[in-house]
Amino acid sequence: MARIIAGVGSSHVPAIGAALDNGKTEEPYWKRVFSGFEKSKQWMAQAKPDVAIVVYNDHASAFSVEMIPTFALGCAAEFPPADEGWGPRPVPVVKGHPALAAHIAQSVILDEFDLTIVNKMEVDHGLTVPMNLLFGQPKDAWPCPVIPLAVNVVMYPPPTGHRCYMLGKAIRKAVESYPEDLNVVIFGTGGLSHQISGPRAGLINSKWDKSFLDNLTRDPKKLTRIPHIEYMREAGAEGIEMVMWLIMRGALDDKVDEVYRFYTVPASNTAVGHIILENRRKAAGKSRSAGKARAAGKSRQAAARKSTQRIASKGTR
Ligand code: DHB
Ligand code: FE
C-alpha cells in the first residue's frame, strides 16, 4: 500500500528561483532565506520519498486567462519547466508518475471532486522553487517523480479552504488504495502573506501568518472556516495562495508532528513560510529511511525549533 508520510508547506517566490539560477545564494539577503531550508534538505534526503505530490498554482504559464481549471492533476510522464519571460529555468524536467496520478484521478473523481486531467503541461516557479528548496539543485534529474496538482488561486473564485482540506482527505484515500508500496510526501506551496500590486502592495502580516502556521499543525479545521475575504484583508490579495496548504494538511493525520518550521520576511514581496509535518503512523513496509528520518526528525526537533526561532527573529517584522 502507498501512504503519505509527511507534508511540506513552502512559499514559492519566483525571485528565490532567480537567486539560485544566478548564483546569489551567498548574498546576505538570500542567505537569510536559504539558511532556513538547510535542515529541510537534510530531512528530505533522509525521508527519500518515492513520489512527491506538489500542490501549487500556475501563474498564467500553463493556463492563460482563457481557461483556468480549479483543480488540475498532472497525469503526464513529464512536465518541462515553463518559460516565464527569461527562458525556462535551468532545472531538470519534472518526471511524473502517470500510474499513481491516473489512480488518484479515478479515486478522487469518483469521490465527487471534479478534477481536470492534464496530460501535457509546463510547470512554473510555483512548483520548481519549492522543489529546489527541498531537493537542492540537481543537475540532471530530480530525486523522485512528481505529481503536480495545480489549483486556481489567480482568478476569482478560488476554491474554499474547506474544499481544499476535503480534497486533501480524498487524495490521501486515493494514495492509500494504491497497491504498490510507496512513500509519498505532499507539498502545499505559495504564500504566506503578500500583495503584489495595488495600493496595499508590499503588505505583510506576520502575526496572521504565524497564527496560520500554529493552527495548521494544531487545529487545521479552524483554518477551513476562514473565508476568502479574510485571506484578502489579512494576508493580501496573493495571500489566498495559502488555501493550497490546506490540501496538504487535509492529506495528513488529524494529529501530526511538526518537525520543522521557518519564517522570514521578506523575500521579494513575500513573507516566506515553511513547515514540515509528519504523520505519526509508520511509513510503508520497505520504508528503509522514512521511519528513521522520522526519529531523526524528532530528535532534531528541539534544535531545529531553536534555530528556526533564531533565524526567524532576525528576519521577521
Ligand atoms: C512573488 C510571490 C509569489 O508567490 C509569486 O507567485 C510571484 C511573485 C513575489 O514575492 O514577488
Ligand atoms: Fe505565487
pLDDT confidence band for 139 (50 / 70 / 90): very high
Active site annotation includes 97? no
Residue 55: strand pairing partners:
149, 188
Does any domain span residue 299? Answer: yes
CATH number of the structural domain spanning residue 211: 3.40.830.10
**What is the structure's pLDDT at 281?**
78
Does any domain span residue 75? Answer: yes
pLDDT digits over 54-77, tens only?
Answer: 999 999 999 999 999 999 999 999
- Decide if pLDDT at 292 tops 80: no
Minimal CA–CA distance to 257: which of 271, 275, 284?
275
Q: How far apart are CA 192 and CA 241, in angstroms?
A: 8
Active site annotation includes 194? yes
Which of residues 239 and 293 earns the better pLDDT score?
239
Ligand 1 atom at minimum distance from 241 CA = 4
Does any domain span residue 312? Answer: no
CB 271 within 8 A of CB 238: no
Does any domain span residue 313? Answer: no
pLDDT digits over 297-316, tens only?
Answer: 444 444 444 444 433 433 33
Does any domain span residue 41? Answer: yes
Which residue, by CA, sits nearest to atom 6 of ligand 1?
A: 13
Does any domain span residue 267? Answer: yes
**What is the structure's pLDDT at 312?**
41
Does any domain span residue 315? Answer: no
Average per-residue pLDDT in the chain? 92
- Decide if pLDDT at 99 tops 50: yes
- Decide if pLDDT at 273 tops 60: yes
Query: What domain range includes position 139?
Result: 3-307
Alpha helices in 80-159 (DSSP H): 98-110, 125-135
**What is the structure's pLDDT at 58?**
98
pLDDT digits over 1-40, tens only?
Answer: 999 999 999 999 999 999 999 999 999 999 999 999 999 9
pTM greater than the 0.85 cutoff:
yes
Q: Is 196 in the pocket of ligand 1 (CB under 6 A)?
A: yes
- Residue 267 Cα to ligand 2 midpoint, Å, equals 12
Minimal CA–CA distance to 295: which of 262, 245, 259, 251?
259
- How many domains, the chain? 1
Does any domain span residue 314? Answer: no
- Residue 205 Cα to ligand 1 midpoint, Å, equals 15
**What is the structure's pLDDT at 291?**
43
